[in-house]
A and B are shown apart, each in its own frame.
Chain A
Amino acid sequence: MPDATDLRILRQLLADPDASNALLAERAGVTAASLWRRLEKMSETGVISAVQNQIDWRALGWEVQVSLRFTLDKTEPRAFDEFMAAARKVPEVTEIQTFLGSVDLRLSVIARDMAHWQQIYRDRILTLPHVSDSDALMLVSTIKDSQEMAL
Chain B
Amino acid sequence: MTTALDATDMAILRILATDATKSAAEIGRAVGIGQPAAWRRIRKLTDSGVLGQKRIVIDNAAVGFGVTVFLGIRLAAKGRTSLEDFERAVTAIPEVQTVQHVLGQFDYRLRVIARDISDFERILRRRIMTLPGIGQVEANVMLSEERRPGPLAAL
> Cβ of A126: which chain B residues have Cβ within 8 Å of it?
none
Q: Are B147 and A51 in contact, with the CB atoms below 8 A? A: no
> Quick one: given A2-B63, A92-B151, are A17 and B53 in contact (CB under 8 Å)?
yes
Q: A91 CA to B150 CA in the complex, in Å?
A: 5
Asked if B80 is an interface residue, CB under 8 A from chain A, the answer is: no
Question: Nearest Cβ distance between residue B22 and chain A, in whole angstroms?
Answer: 10
Q: A45 CA to B137 CA in the complex, in Å?
A: 37
Question: Nearest Cβ distance between residue A83 and chain B, in whole angstroms?
Answer: 13
Q: Are B146 and A96 in contact, with the CB atoms below 8 A? A: yes
Q: Pick the contact of A53 from B17, B102, B113 — CB < 8 Å? A: B17
Q: Which residue of chain A lies nearest to B102 when distances are taken between CB atoms in the complex?
A: A137
Q: Are B70 and A59 in contact, with the CB atoms below 8 A? A: no
State how many residues of chain B have any CB contact under 8 Å with chain A: 67
- How many residue pairs link A and B with beta carbons under 8 A? The number is 203
Asked if B43 is an interface residue, CB under 8 A from chain A, the answer is: no
Q: A10 CA to B98 CA in the complex, in Å?
A: 19
Question: Nearest Cβ distance between residue A13 and chain B, in whole angstroms?
Answer: 6
Q: Are B49 and A52 in contact, with the CB atoms below 8 A? A: no
Q: Are A1 and B143 in contact, with the CB atoms below 8 A? A: no
Asked if B85 is an interface residue, CB under 8 A from chain A, the answer is: no
> Quick one: given A51-B56, A54-B55, are A144 and B150 in contact (CB under 8 Å)?
no
A-B contact pairs, 23 of them (CB 8 A): A17-B55, A48-B59, A49-B58, A49-B59, A51-B21, A51-B57, A52-B19, A52-B55, A52-B57, A53-B16, A53-B20, A53-B51, A54-B53, A55-B50, A60-B2, A91-B152, A99-B143, A101-B140, A135-B105, A137-B104, A138-B104, A141-B101, A150-B94
Q: Chain B residues in contact with chain A, CB under 8 A? A: 1-3, 5, 13, 16-21, 48-60, 62-65, 70, 72, 87, 90-91, 94-106, 108-109, 113, 138-155
